Amino acid sequence: MSRRLSSAAVAAALVFAACKKDAPPPPGAAVAPTTAAAPSGGAAQAAGQPAGAPAGKNPEGCNSDLSEPFVANTTFTEKCSPYTVKTELNVTGWDLTIEPGVEVRFAEGASLSVGYGQVGRLLARGTAEKPVRFTAADRKEAGIWRGLRFFDKAEGSVLENAAVEFAGQAEDFAVIVESGDLSFTNVSVSQVKGKAVQVKSALPFKALSGLDLTKAGGKGVALEAQIGALGPAGLAASFAPGALVELHGDVERDVRLTNVGAAYRVTSEVSIHGETDGKTATLTIDPGVTVEMAENAAFWVGYEQTRQGQLKAVGTAEKPISFRRFGDDAAQTPFRGFQFWAGARPVELDYVVIDNAGTKDHAALMFEDSHNLGKITHTTIRHSKGGAIEIRRTRERFAAFENNTFDDLGDGFGLKLPLICAHQLAATNTFPKGSWVELDEDPLDGDVTLTPLNVPYRRFAGLTIDGAAQGKSASLTVAAGTTVQFGNDARVTVSYANSGKLVVQGTPAAPVNFGKVDGAWGGIVAADKATLQLENLVIDGTGDELPAIEAKATSQGSLKGITFKSGKVGVEKCSDKVTTAGLKAAPGGKAETKEGC
């Protein structure tokens, strides 16, 4: 119930207000209710009533024109509705409860602020049949009154089955939230002058569902929010066609992006990591979500090893998830892409489309020092200036990497990764003509099998296959139909200090091909602790100065059905433990020699 005070109480309230030392609100902020000397006629002056103006008429026992001051918790009742706010009403130091069916009308330029300077709550709980309505006194056009603002001390405020109409200025929002722990349930914002809702707090809502912005007006940003405010349940809202949800800030707690029909827009870097050491934050993205990215926008996951982060974007064939650069110059100014660091937990990408990400020097997806690469499946990466996926300084492998499509990569690679991570890549991955899978880092000190893809593997530098320690062995197995290309002067050295093994498993119908990228590569050297098992191998692009295969004195193994398409010498064999059969030399060359042994 609204509260009517005696003359003594009013005087006491004046003294109390005069003694308060709270900092004044910022320019344009709502001012706390005050009292003033009553004009002739004895009416009391309060917030919502212009200074010196006579109070309006109230229904008996009501304070509908807010002519009486508030110094304690107050209720707006359906009996006394409608209520009229003529300037600014600041709910601070007390709670305002609004009953179902109440209408609060605001004069031009008026506003309602909650929790500025002192704790205050707005508890507006309507029903589906009797919503609470915040509207303009004159409902002729949008932007008549300034709107609702929840300051940082408005925790616990509730809007339920409520409507906000004809609010907001041209360059401002109709509803502004600077506090966490708010509940917005079945709230509609319509007929706004500028934008509908702005959430400045990164703290999650206590409840956020049924937000209706379908009649907010106009295209563009309808909701602007700190991404952390969406919380683990995400946003349950509806928007007009073409509306946007603009996101800022970092993900330091679990956050979900739900499919609300509007695209999410990210305009800067978003870091995904736990709020403190030992904590993990996960960004989960639901099927059908579209995320639009600005040129400098990116997702950085787990930058600090002790503050872990995770990205889960799992769509479906019918509702893929889309990350794309917005604007007319997307192809020339792609967004910065995704970076997974040491604190990144296993990524999950399934039925995801990534357009115009990465630069000439930065792949669309970068993994650096990652401890687990996770799963990338049914994912399309296209229109990249450079490479699609690059992996650095890790020995981990994908838990799943299959049915991915890479397209329009410019002069870039489809995938660049340490050779130890390239084990049995699925042939269901499709790379564009002219691209390649680049094998990085040296030496290979474990066991790896290269399986055939629709593009070649490339190794620009030399490659050493050598066990990690004394008594340990490493092996590279190349399956039938696989093509590997080597850079200028690059040599494959099998065994250096410890044991190494090279196995080629070609067939007459599907030989293995070793060739060049540019220039002439240096061939294969089998050192003393090396084992070669090469069958149905085609070697091309070696120079004339060195043999294509050099078998040292104590190396061992077998060479069968090898074709040398270049060079003067195919095999220089200095070991009786290496057997040969079916060797074919290029015209003018030799298949086998012992010279130099």
Q: Do 421 and 446 touch, CB atoms closer than 8 A?
A: no
For the stretch 202-245, pLDDT in tens is 999 999 999 999 999 766 899 999 999 999 999 999 999 999 99
User: DSSP letters of 568-596?
Assistant: SEEEEE--TTEEEES-BPPTT-EEEE-TT
Can you count the helices (H) and strands (E) in the chain?
A: 1, 52
Tens-place pLDDT, residues 251-300: 999 999 999 999 999 999 999 999 999 999 999 999 999 999 999 999 99
Q: CA-to-CA distance for 376 and 374, rounded, in angstroms?
A: 7
Q: From CA 512, how far away is CA 521, in angstroms rounded?
A: 16
Query: What gap in Å lies between CA 234 and CA 284, rounded to an integer?
Result: 9
The residues pairing with 571 across neighbouring beta strands, listed in sequence order, are: 549, 592
What Å distances lie between residue 51 and 10, 18, 37, 323, CA to CA? 16, 17, 10, 54
Place of tokens 């002056």: 45
Given a cut of 80, is residue 1 above it in pLDDT? no
Q: Would you kindly state where each structural domain of the chain is located, as residue ranges?
A: 271-420, 442-597
Judge whether residue 316 has pLDDT over 70: yes
In the structure, what pLDDT confidence band is assigned to residue 461 with cuts at 50, 70 and 90? very high
**To the nearest whole number, what is the mean pLDDT of the chain?**
89
Could you read off the pLDDT of 143-200 as tens digits, one per residue?
A: 789 999 999 999 999 999 999 999 988 788 999 999 999 999 999 999 998 899 999 9
Tokens of 372: 């687990």
pLDDT for the residue numbered 79: 95
Enumerate the β-bridge partners of residue 322: 290, 353
Residue 18 confidence (pLDDT) above 50: no
pLDDT per residue over 321-364, tens digit each? 999 999 988 989 999 999 999 999 999 999 999 999 999 889 99
Q: Find out whether 585 and 547 touch, Cβ atoms under 8 Å.
A: no
Structure tokens at 82: 């409608």
